[in-house]
Chains A and B, each alone.
Chain A
Amino acid sequence: MTLRRKYEEKFFRGLSFLFTALIVFVLFQIIWTIAKKGIPSLSWQIISQEPKGGFYFGKEGGILNAIAGSFYLAVCSTILAFVISLPVALFMNIYLIRYQRLLIGIRFFLDVLWGVPSIVYGAFGFTLLMYFGYRNSLGAGIITVASMITPIMIRAMDEVLKTIPIGLQEASYALGSTKTETAYKIFFREALPGFATAILLAFGRGIGDAASVLFTAGYTDYIPHSFSEPTATLPLAIFFQLSSPIEEVQNRAYAASVILTLIVLVLSISARLLKLKK
């Protein structure tokens, strides 16, 4: 019996290590595949030019329209989400701190909201667009993506604010400050490093998501100049170019995947570094 126990222990220890190693291996395999396929077709032309005539038949041009569009979209929707999330997260941790049951309810609700897939946000955004009679546009994409990342951002900020001791709040009141001053001058400053992580997380979500912008932001060969124009995005550029039968166009999709992966890598690593610093 003892022998069996010993071998069972060894077996599962080995197996669990093997599975962990497999996960790490898969990640490196993904990055390696994307890099191997995409880096040869990566060139300055692809990054710095908009699509030109015959672009979709493999002629000249680049995906600057998608890169710029993605950045506009992700930056604006992150800002918009931040403007909404910050008051909500502060409200939960300052005004509602005495109402624990309500607070638990709201957190529960936001967690559930987190699970809603982006395609549903996309479909809903599209319904709204149709209802108001607008066309696909950068603005519509921004609003859709912002509503998708807001619950994520609120919960991430809330987790940071939760760790601030209540004594700090009481001390601030004792000195005569109002709740708003406590919120924006004390809590905001205290939680700022943590907020940076939350923002990076939400930004990464916003720049990588395809399903929500598919019908709301549209697609175009030009860099948008106003919120009412449609815009291209990197995920959709990859998706559309990959479905082309022409090899040059497909190669550009691989190059675009490298760019997108690189952006996400930089984002997650800097978020992790920020966390370590704290």
Chain B
Amino acid sequence: MKATGFNLKKPPMILTRKLTDSISSKWMITCITFCLLLPLAIGAGLVFKSIPLLSTHKLSELIFSEDWYPSDNQFGFWPFIVTSVWVTVLALLISMPLCLLSSIYLTQYAPAWFLKFMRPVMDILAGIPSVVYGVWGLLVVVPFVGDKLAPLFNADSLGYSILAGALVLSVMTIPYILNMLLEVFRQIPVELGEASLSLGATKWETIKHIFLRKGSPGILSAFGLGFSKALGETIAVLMVIGNVVQIPQSVFDSGYTLPGLIANNYGEMMSIPSYDSALMFGALLLFAIIIVINIIFRYIIYKSELV
């Protein structure tokens, strides 16, 4: 075979290659199985830990009772659930119009360079750690609520309040929601807008009647996913909300969120029986609520992308 003149390198043994291939694909399957089993393991682990509590308390009592006295073996999660929902809903009420109008501005009105400038702004907002938001909340938002807003409404507040938590949380959800909204508006075909404009509608009328309607499933999902993101937020809210176990009567009252409860009580939970089980039940509650919300809104996104 010398006559060909080609200097062929000897190919690696076919057997080794096949072996590598089979080992590598086994490893891939192992990894993906691991990833798919992880949430099941989380769910199972949390259920396993909450069984001791569930065997002595009724589920409805745990969720709807207001009495939180761990040392008396009374675990009512209602104050935490109410506070969490208050803070999250309030935060979304603040960030929803901000994100919606700003995404409209960025995709419809703004020059291209402005959108380019906003991308890193959103990146950084999304990247700032939760604890830094907490520090900012303590330095700026809490005094603002306590000294400026509360006197305005004749409320007595130190500033550590639902409102402070909601303000911090609303800033934290902005990059998340805004990013999804930009994607929603980007996917709407340009021809739709042009058709409306050519019929004599103004730009805003086009947005109001065409884009908002066409994008409504996406917009709804962005808000829904933002809600679930905000619900699970821990440290930043914990730092500004005051951590008082009560059902808040106004936005200037302190509260105690569910994630905050879990984070704050790990040190002492060993000394009181079934306390750790109760905290794990709290985590399970949070996990279940967030998974359900996520599945619903991801499904809406998935369906709307198909059309």
Contacts and interface: CB of A to CB of B under 8 A. Distances in A.
Pairs A-B, 7 closest by C-beta atoms: A117-B232, A208-B129, A16-B105, A123-B283, A91-B28, A16-B101, A178-B21
B122 to A, nearest CB: 8
Contacts of B29: 91
14 contacts: A13-B105, A23-B121, A84-B34, A115-B225, A115-B290, A121-B42, A127-B49, A179-B25, A180-B21, A183-B24, A210-B234, A261-B128, A268-B126, A269-B123
Interface string B233-259: 111000100000000000000000001
Contact of B280 (A127, A183, A236, A253): A127
Interface stretch (A4-12, A53-61, A166-174, A221-229): A4-12
User: Which of A211, A238, A265 has the most chain B CB within a 10 Å cutoff?
Assistant: A211
A264 B139 CA distance: 20
Given A20-B106, A115-B225, 8 more contacts: A13-B105, A87-B32, A116-B287, A116-B290, A235-B235, A253-B135, A264-B128, A269-B123
Interface stretch (B60-68, B74-82, B201-209): B201-209
B136 A30 contact: yes
A208 B139 contact: no
A110 B130 contact: no
A208 B128 contact: yes
Interface string B133-147: 111101110000000
Interface stretch (B153-161, B186-194, B294-302): B294-302
Interface in B266-307: 266, 276, 279-280, 283, 286-287, 290-291, 293-295, 298-299, 302
B196 interface: no
Contact of B132 (A19, A115, A116, A238): A238
Contacts of A110: 35
B21 A260 contact: no
Sorting the interface of chain B by its residue count into under 10, 10 to 19, 20 to 34 or 35 or more gives: 35 or more
A23 B36 contact: no
B136 A235 contact: no
Contact of B109 (A16, A120, A261, A265): A16
Contacts of A88: 28, 31-32, 35
A124 B280 CA distance: 8
B118 A20 contact: yes
A108 to B, nearest CB: 6
Contacts of A269: 120, 123-124
Contacts of A211: 130, 234-235, 259, 263
A259 B151 CA distance: 36
